């Protein structure tokens, strides 16, 4: 339901205490690739780096109770709704500026490792389709607005740059396929391998088939050409939330989400808020990324 007016928002914050601040801080585990995006979860900091410990090729849902580490946003507030009020970010690195920090809500992921990365062919995914229920995995009904990206996890990928296609179902349950992308040979840890300045890349999300507005089910991953020699990749299913710029190293940038667009973006009950980063240059390894955001909830 949200807030009925500015006065109502102020009352919820000042009188009712229905507000808090969240801190996210990471050290970049490897040098970021110029013109590409990086998944920031795979680094030391707050919250802790996940292990993505689930079985290969099995979709694993994540929410604000995920045992592998989340940015806690206060838990469920239904029938009230929770909203971003502001966000700030700072990157300290010798190279890479300017940057863009994007917040996403991770619905879940699929891990591929071992021969699921080092061999070509179709890798079939086990997943129950996103539906329209009160379950936290269904917090975006039928997958409306959900997007996918694929990142290198734990270590650099091996040599070679195969072609990859991810087959999925759209919000109506119809079959579709992302436009194929060329993976990144020897991609550094955390790199989003479908992104970059080269041909056949998509920044930051895999392309959807014409007319599709979301993803309800991940069906398979298909590698062709010469497979990566080694490595682990994570296929993330996320909802984009907002983006803020960081023009220069050490410069803290703050954005108002009450009076500026996008206004009062919602934090769904169960949201697992995480961050990805675009670097125009090769961001220095061990660079420090700091993000904070304020939220409030109203309607109850």
Q: 163 lies in a domain?
A: yes
pLDDT at 132: 97
Q: 226 lies in a domain?
A: yes
Contact criterion met (CB below 8 Å) for 133 and 173: no
Alpha helix positions (H), 73-145: 115-118
How far is CA 13 from its chain centroid? 28
For residue 14, give its domain range.
6-298
Q: Which two tokens stand for residue 149?
A: 């990206």
Q: Which two tokens stand for residue 72?
A: 């806690």
The upper half-sphere exposure of residue 295, i.e. CA atoms within 13 Å in the direction of its Cβ, equals 24
Q: 285 lies in a domain?
A: yes
Q: Which two tokens stand for residue 152?
A: 């290198």
The rounded distance, in Å, linking the Cα atoms of 281 and 115 is 32
Contact criterion met (CB below 8 Å) for 72 and 253: no
Burial (Cβ within 10 Å: 0-12, 13-18, ≥19) of residue 266: middle
Domain count, the chain: 1
42 DSSP 8-state letter? S
The rounded distance, in Å, linking the Cα atoms of 123 and 210 is 24
Q: 53 lies in a domain?
A: yes
The rounded distance, in Å, linking the Cα atoms of 238 and 274 is 9
Residue 52 Ramachandran class (φ > 0 left, ψ -120 to 50 alpha, else beta): left
Q: 1 lies in a domain?
A: no
pLDDT at 1: 65
- Global pTM reads 0.96
The rounded distance, in Å, linking the Cα atoms of 213 and 286 is 37
| Angle in degrees, CA 34, 166, 38, rounded to 5 | 25
Residue 124's contacts (CB-CB under 8 Å, 6 or more residues apart) are 57, 219, 220
Q: 58 lies in a domain?
A: yes
Residue in 149, 106, 155, 86 with CA at minimum distance from that of residue 275:
106
Q: 152 lies in a domain?
A: yes
**One digit per residue, pLDDT tens: the chain, 300 residues?**
689 999 999 999 999 999 999 999 999 989 999 999 999 998 999 999 999 999 999 999 999 999 998 999 999 999 999 999 999 999 999 999 999 999 999 999 999 999 999 999 999 999 999 999 999 999 999 999 999 999 999 999 999 999 999 999 999 999 988 889 999 999 999 999 999 999 999 999 999 999 999 999 999 999 999 999 999 999 999 999 999 999 999 999 999 999 987 789 999 999 999 999 999 999 998 899 999 999 999 986
Return phi, psi of residue 283, to 5°. Answer: -60, 135
Q: 99 lies in a domain?
A: yes
Peptide bond into 96 cis (omega under 30): no
């Amino acid at each position: 339901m949200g807030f009925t007016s500015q006065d109502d928002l102020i009352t919820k914050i000042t009188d009712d205490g229905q507000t808090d601040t969240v801190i996210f801080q990471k050290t970049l585990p490897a040098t970021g690739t110029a013109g590409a995006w990086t998944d920031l979860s795979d680094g030391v900091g707050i919250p802790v780096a996940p292990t993505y410990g689930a079985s290969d090729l099995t979709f694993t849902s994540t929410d604000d109770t995920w045992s592998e580490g989340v940015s806690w946003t206060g838990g469920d507030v239904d029938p009230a709704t929770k909203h971003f009020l502001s966000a700030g970010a700072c990157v300290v690195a010798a190279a890479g500026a300017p940057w863009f920090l994007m917040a996403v809500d991770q619905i879940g992921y699929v891990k591929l490792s071992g021969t699921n990365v080092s061999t070509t062919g179709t890798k079939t995914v086990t997943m129950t389709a996103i539906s329209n229920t009160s379950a936290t995995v269904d917090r975006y009904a039928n997958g409306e607005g959900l997007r996918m990206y694929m990142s290198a996890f734990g270590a650099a990928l091996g040599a070679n740059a195969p072609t990859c296609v991810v087959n999925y179902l759209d919000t109506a349950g119809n079959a579709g396929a992302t436009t194929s992308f060329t993976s990144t040979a020897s991609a550094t840890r955390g790199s989003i391998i479908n992104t970059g300045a080269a041909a056949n890349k998509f920044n930051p999300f895999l392309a959807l088939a014409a007319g599709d507005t979301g993803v309800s089910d991940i069906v398979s991953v298909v590698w062709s050409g010469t497979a990566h020699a080694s490595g682990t990749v994570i296929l993330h299913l996320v909802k984009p939330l907002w983006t803020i710029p960081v023009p220069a190293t050490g410069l803290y940038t703050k954005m108002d989400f009450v009076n500026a667009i996008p206004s009062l973006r919602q934090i769904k009950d169960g949201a697992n808020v995480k961050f990805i980063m675009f670097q125009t240059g090769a961001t220095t390894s061990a660079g420090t990324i700091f993000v904070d955001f304020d939220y409030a909830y109203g309607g109850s």
